[in-house]
Every structure is written in C-alpha cells, then in structure tokens.
C-alpha cells in the first residue's frame, strides 16, 4: 500500500478522533439551548496570569458529549466494514476502509461485544482529541489570546496541531496490538499532522457556511 492510501487508511481509522472537535462544538452550542449548561471545565477560574485557565469554549457538555458521539461513530464504522486481519490490512490492493477493531483482540478496550468495544475505542479517541484541543486552549490563554464572547481567538496552529498530535500519540502509546498502533501508520501520521491545518480550515469553513460555527476558523 503506497503512502497516499496509507494516509487515507490512517485518516479513516482515526476519524472518530478527528471529528470529536466538531461533535464537541455541537454539544457545546446546542445543549445549552435546551436549558442545560454550558458547564465550563475550568469553572470560570483564572490562572496566576489573570486569564482564564481554559475559557468558556471548553465545557463538560462538549467534552463528554463529543467523546461519546465519537464512540457512536466508531460503532457505525465497525458495523459498516468487515473486520479483516492484521496480515492483510496493509497489503497492496487492500481497502482503506478497514475495521478500527482490527488487531484489537485482547486489548484493554475489548469489553463485552463488538459494539461496546467500538464505543470505548471511539470515545477514547474522541477524549484524546479534546484533551489535545484543551491543551491548545490552555496555551492560548497563557499567551493572552482570549475568546470574545462566543467567538474563538484566532490561532491557526494552536487550533489544529495539538488535537491531531494527541490523538495519534494516544493511539500509538495506548492501543497495544490494535491496527491503530501499527508502526506502518507513523509516517502517514506525520504527513496528516502537516496537512491538518488545511483539513481543519476546510471543515471549519463548511461548519461556518451551514451555521455550526460563528467564525470560519
């Protein structure tokens, strides 16, 4: 399998993590309209520099809802594709739509049946993404970059790279024998990290056009 298809395979396998920010944004934007939340993760507290620790944009409803929705997405992905073996997933001619559960037999997240295992895996990837995104927000606050009401401060690299790096790092470190931790995915991961700002910008433009985001970045 050449590098281009390895990049597509990597993006597919890690899709629950890459879309977690979008899911968190939906939970953070829509749930308060029902009268529940928002509940800022930092509780409104400030750091020693006088700025918020994370800001109003990082909420418990976004973190929990985004992670769980990533879990549901992973369930759908697993149900839609065949669970092939590790010996064939990287062969020339293999489909990029491999099951995220490939090679996960005996892994820590293999709990109960296929659906629960997929949900735990997807939620884990979603949590990793949102942890990385919160790390980026923490750094932005320390640099004095503040949200303006519902509008996020503009910091392209801090808005994109931390979540991608964290998702891939967690996958490689904590997913054991799973295909998501395969060494064959490391070079595609580097490539995807480099182009993530472009992908993120594209997704945000779409979200802005359809009214999910207040700004196109």
pLDDT in tens, 103-123: 988 899 999 889 999 999 999
H/E run at residue 26: helix 20-30
pLDDT at 12: 95
Q: Look at residue 214 and tell me if it is in a domain.
A: no
Q: 2: pLDDT confidence band, cut at 50, 70 and 90? A: confident
- Specify the DSSP class assigned to residue 152: P
Helix pair 114-142, 156-174: axis angle to 10 deg: 140
pLDDT at 50 over 50: yes
pLDDT of residue 86: 67
> Does residue 149 register a pLDDT over 50?
no
Average pLDDT over residues 67-74: 97
The predicted model scores a pTM of: 0.85
pLDDT of residue 211: 67
Q: Which is more confident, 203 or 6?
A: 6
Domains of the chain: total = 1
Tell me, yes or no, whether 215 lies in a domain. no
Q: What is the mean pLDDT of residues 129-136?
A: 93
Q: Is residue 216 part of a domain?
A: no
pLDDT of residue 156: 66
**pLDDT value at position 66?**
94
pLDDT at residue 92, rounded to an integer:
65
Question: Burial code of 49-75, b = ≥16 C-beta within 10 A, e = fewer?
Answer: eebbbbbbbbbebbbbbbbbbbbbbbb
183 Cβ contact list (under 8 Å, min separation 6): none
- Compute, in degrees rounded to 10, the torsion defined by CA atoms 185, 189, 191, 197: 160
209 or 61: whose pLDDT is higher?
61
Domain span at residue 61?
Answer: 3-209
Residues 96, 79 contacting (CB under 8 angstroms): no
- Asked whether residue 86 is assigned to any structural domain, the reply reads yes
Phi, psi for residue 165 in degrees, rounded to 5 = -60, -45
pLDDT score recorded for residue 33: 76
Better-scored residue on pLDDT, 70 or 147: 70
What is the average pLDDT value for the chain, to the nearest integer?
85
Per-residue pLDDT at 216 = 60
Q: Is residue 189 over pLDDT 80?
A: yes
């Amino acid at each position: 399998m050449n590098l281009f298809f390895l990049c597509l395979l990597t993006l597919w396998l890690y899709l629950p993590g890459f879309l977690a920010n979008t899911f968190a944004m939906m939970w953070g934007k829509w749930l308060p309209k029902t009268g529940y939340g928002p509940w800022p993760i930092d509780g409104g507290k400030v750091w020693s520099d006088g700025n918020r620790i994370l800001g109003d944009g990082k909420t418990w409803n976004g973190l929990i809802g985004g992670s769980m929705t990533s879990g549901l997405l992973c369930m759908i992905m697993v149900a839609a594709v065949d669970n092939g073996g590790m010996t064939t997933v990287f062969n020339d001619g293999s489909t990029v739509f491999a099951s995220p559960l490939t090679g996960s037999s005996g892994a820590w997240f293999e709990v109960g049946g296929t659906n629960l295992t997929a949900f735990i895996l997807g939620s884990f990837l979603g949590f990793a993404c949102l942890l990385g995104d919160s790390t980026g927000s923490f750094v932005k606050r320390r640099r004095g970059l503040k949200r303006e009401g519902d509008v996020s401060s503009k910091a392209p690299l801090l808005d994109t790279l931390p979540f991608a790096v964290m998702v891939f790092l967690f996958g490689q470190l904590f997913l054991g024998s799973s295909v998501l931790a395969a060494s064959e995915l490391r070079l595609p991961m580097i490539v995807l990290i480099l182009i993530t700002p472009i992908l993120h910008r594209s997704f945000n433009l779409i979200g802005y056009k359809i009214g999910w985001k207040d700004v196109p970045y």
